[in-house]
C-alpha cells in the first residue's frame, strides 16, 4: 500500500508554465525539433528531469521537453 502511494505521488508532479511563450522540443537540447509551443499559465505534468530540461505531458497526453527555467513546480509552493 505504501509503495502504491509513493508511486502516485511521483506520478502527480504538476507545474505551470511561467514563460510568456515556451518552445517544447522533441529531445532535451536546444537544437532538437520543436513539437509545439506553450503559453504562460499552461498546466503540465513533469515526467522526468534531465540536466536543465523537464519532460512534460499535457492533458491531451502530448509530451516533449521544456527548459526548466520556463516552468515552476506546484509541489514546491
Residue 60: pLDDT over 50? yes
Cross-strand partners of 60: none
Cα torsion through 8, 74, 26, 57, rounded to 10:
40
Number of structural domains the chain divides into:
1
Which range marks the domain in which residue 42 is found?
2-76
Nearest to 30 by CA among 52, 63, 62: 52
Looking at the whole model, is its pTM more than 0.85?
no
Q: Characterize the bridge pairing of strands 63-67 and 53-57.
A: antiparallel
* CATH at residue 40: 2.30.30.40
**What single-letter DSSP state applies at residue 55?**
E
The pLDDT of residue 4 is 42
- Report the pLDDT averaged over residues 51-66: 97
Amino acid at each position: 500500500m505504501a509503495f502504491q502511494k509513493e508511486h502516485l505521488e511521483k506520478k502527480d508532479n504538476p507545474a505551470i508554465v511561467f514563460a510568456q511563450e515556451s518552445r517544447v522540443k522533441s529531445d532535451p537540447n536546444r537544437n532538437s525539433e520543436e513539437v509545439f509551443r506553450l503559453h504562460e499559465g499552461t498546466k503540465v505534468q513533469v515526467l522526468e528531469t534531465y540536466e536543465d530540461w523537464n519532460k512534460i505531458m499535457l492533458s491531451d497526453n502530448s509530451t516533449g521537453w521544456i527548459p526548466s527555467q520556463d516552468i515552476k513546480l506546484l509541489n514546491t509552493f
